[in-house]
Amino acid sequence: DQQVKQNSPSLSVQEGRISILNCDYTNSMFDYFLWYKKYPAEGPTFLISISSIKDKNEDGRFTVFLNKSAKHLSLHIVPSQPGDSAVYFCAASASKSGGSNYKLTFGKGTLLTVNP
Amino acid sequence: DTAVSQTPKYLVTQMGNDKSIKCEQNLGHDTMYWYKQDSKKFLKIMFSYNNKELIINETVPNRFSPKSPDKAHLNLHINSLELGDSAVYFCASSLAYQAKNIQYFGAGTRLSVL
């Protein structure tokens, strides 16, 4: 039962253009969403996040959009650079009562290739 | 300084053996995790420890036993290794009681069971 889905296994874009990575989720209890970037032979690295009370969060070239009604989020990278080539994971968490630590549920990842 | 470090990076062993993977974090976090990334590339949580206390155990076989001697360390011991245990195991850490569950990951341990 995939609660977080990234339906595009791969995406290829030209340097300087926009990269849009998509993510869908099914669990209405998710209240925080994160994007991680992963290079080969390395661990995932946190990139950007968004709370369910917001619909947009921007950090430099990276913007995450959240559409709660559609249970959909997307990561926009503008402009894309060759160094952005990596696997991007969407992750979600659902806070528990009492504010204890939360587990992350990951999507399968999308391999982004930015061509020079 | 590596924030979350795992050893070994690669582990090749025979079926039936027992092996351990070690993880240490120097971020001052109080929560540590083990994730498994299988051949289908899904990253799935296995265990979570908060202040040395087991918080999450995601129906992992009893052959897997995590041990947290202190907040900065979380080790994973695997008994009677099976072919299906071949995967990349990631350790992560975070601060509990924060709405942003930003977890910091180690580089992973690639386990190959022959």
Helices (H) and strands (E) in chain B, counts: 0, 11
User: A114: closest CA among A81, A74, A76?
Assistant: A81
Asked if pLDDT for residue A21 goes beyond 80, the answer is yes
pLDDT at residue number B41: 81
| Lateral strand order in the sheet of A4-5 | A4-5, A19-25, A72-77, A62-67, A56-59
Residue B101 is predicted with a pLDDT of 77
- Residue A93 neighbours by CB distance under 10 Å: 22
Q: pLDDT-derived band of residue B60, with 50, 70 and 90 as boundaries?
A: confident
Q: Is the model's pLDDT at A98 over the cut of 50? A: no
- Report the CATH number that the domain containing residue A67 is assigned in CATH: 2.60.40.10
User: To the nearest whole percent, how much of chain A has pLDDT over 70?
Assistant: 94
Give the DSSP H or E segment for B7.
strand B4-7
**Over chain A, what is the mean pLDDT?**
92
Q: Which residues of chain A have a CB within 8 Å of the CB of B107?
A: 41-43
For B4-113, give the CATH class.
mainly beta
pLDDT above 90: percentage of residues in chain A: 82
User: Average pLDDT in the B77-90 region?
Assistant: 95
Structure-block tokens of residue A112: 């982004």
Helices (H), A1-116: none
Cβ distance of A42 and B107 shorter than 8 Å? yes
Q: Please state the rounded mean pLDDT for residues B60-78.
A: 93
Nearest CA in chain B to A107: B42
* A101·B97 Cβ contact <8 A: yes
Residue B59 pLDDT more than 80? no
Per the model's pLDDT, the better-predicted residue between B56 and B74 turns out to be: B74
Which structural domain range is residue A89 located in? 4-96+103-115
Count of domains in chain A? 1
On chain B, the residues whose CB falls within 8 A of the CB of A44 are: 43, 90, 105
Residue B54: predicted pLDDT: 85
